[in-house]
Amino acid sequence: MTAALELKNVGRSFIQGEKELVVLKGADLAISRGEMVALVAPSGSGKSTLLQIAGLLEKPNNGEVMVDARECSKLEDRARTAMRRRSIGFVYQFHHLLPELSALENVMIPQLILGRSRNDASARAKTLLDHMRIAARSDHRPAELSGGEQQRVAIARAVANEPQVLLADEPTGNLDPSTSDHVFQSLTEIVRESGLAALIATHNYDLADRMDRIVTLENGQVVAKTS
Task: Give domain limits for the chain.
Answer: 3-224
Tell the CATH topology of 3-224. Rossmann fold (3.40.50)
Q: Per residue in 22-71, pLDDT tens? A: 889 999 999 999 899 999 988 778 888 999 999 999 899 999 999 988 89
CA torsion through residues 153, 175, 40, 1, sign: negative
Question: Which pLDDT belongs to residue 96?
Answer: 83
Question: Which pLDDT belongs to residue 65?
Answer: 93
Q: Give, to the nearest 10 degrees, the angle between helix 77-87 and helix 103-114.
A: 130
Residue 199 near residue 5, CB atoms below 8 Å: yes
* Alpha-carbon Rg for the chain in angstroms: 17
**Residue 176, C-beta contacts closer than 8 angstroms, at least 6 positions apart:** none
Question: Which pLDDT belongs to residue 41?
Answer: 86
**Residue 187, C-beta contacts closer than 8 angstroms, at least 6 positions apart:** 91, 155, 168, 171, 198, 200
Position 219: which residue type?
Answer: N
Position 89: which residue type?
Answer: G
91-94 long-range Cβ contacts below 8 angstroms, 24+ apart = 91/151, 91/154, 91/155, 91/158, 91/166, 91/167, 91/168, 91/169, 91/171, 91/187, 92/154, 92/168, 92/169, 92/170, 92/171, 93/169, 93/170, 93/171, 93/173, 93/174, 94/174
SS3 167: strand
- Give the H/E segment covering residue 189: helix 177-194
Q: Phi and psi dihedrals of 116, rounded to 5?
A: -75, 145
Residues in the chain with pLDDT values less than 50? none
CB atoms within 10 A of CB 60: 24
Question: Which pLDDT belongs to residue 173?
Answer: 75
**Residue 192, C-beta contacts closer than 8 angstroms, at least 6 positions apart:** 34
C-alpha 56 chain-centroid distance: 11
Question: Which pLDDT belongs to residue 43?
Answer: 79
